[in-house]
């Protein structure tokens, strides 16, 4: 999602025609499916990786220089951008456009479930068990203790829709 968000920001900030390189239907090395096709704005910009063949590369792993990008887009009709872009500084102030691109319309059933969660004292727990396993996985007791600590805190204000 960060790469797609960066692409949306690039389109808005520089007027570039951004395409995302992906192979929908394939799974990555961690057996994860590509799911960005659920967002129509993003899905409409997906092309096969071969589309970048011969394009000059811009590696943004260490940061992004706006002036250099602007000049590059004026000089090159196609550029392959490499990076993870996992920070909002790469959004170039285009937060609203990015949020709009990632809007989903929940089904009525999902909407009812969301309302039930809002009405109760619910928390979410994300357990990542694949690519970060090399750091060591947290134990079940870690999660039990975290939930107990959370339950012992005063209840937060209810969410607003």
Is the predicted pLDDT of residue 137 greater than 80, yes or no?
no
Is the predicted pLDDT of residue 158 greater than 90, yes or no?
no
Please tell me the pTM assigned to this model.
Answer: 0.69
Confidence category of residue 9, pLDDT binned at 50, 70, 90: very high
Q: How does pLDDT run across 40-76, given as a tens digit for each residue? A: 888 888 888 888 888 888 887 667 888 888 888 888 8
| Residues 6 or more apart in contact with residue 59 via CB below 8 angstroms | 82, 83
How many whole angstroms separate alpha carbon 18 and alpha carbon 42?
Answer: 10
Give the Å distances, CA to CA, from 112 to 33, 68, 108, 109, 118: 27, 48, 6, 5, 10
Q: What are the residues facing 57 on neighbouring strands?
A: 80
């Amino acid at each position: 999602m960060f790469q797609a968000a960066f692409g949306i920001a690039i389109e808005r900030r520089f007027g570039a025609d951004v395409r995302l390189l992906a192979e929908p239907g394939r799974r990555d090395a961690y057996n994860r499916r590509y799911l960005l096709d659920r967002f129509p704005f993003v899905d409409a910009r997906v092309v096969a990786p071969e589309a970048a063949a011969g394009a000059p590369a811009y590696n943004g792993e260490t940061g992004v220089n706006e002036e250099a990008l602007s000049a590059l887009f004026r000089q090159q009709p196609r550029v392959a951008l490499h990076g993870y872009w996992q920070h909002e500084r790469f959004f170039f102030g285009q937060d609203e456009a990015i949020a709009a691109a990632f809007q989903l319309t929940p089904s009525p059933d999902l909407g009812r479930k969301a309302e039930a969660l809002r009405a109760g004292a619910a928390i979410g727990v994300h357990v990542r068990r694949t690519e970060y396993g090399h750091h060591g996985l947290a134990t079940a007791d870690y999660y039990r203790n975290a939930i107990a600590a959370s339950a012992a805190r005063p209840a937060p204000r209810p969410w607003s829709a």
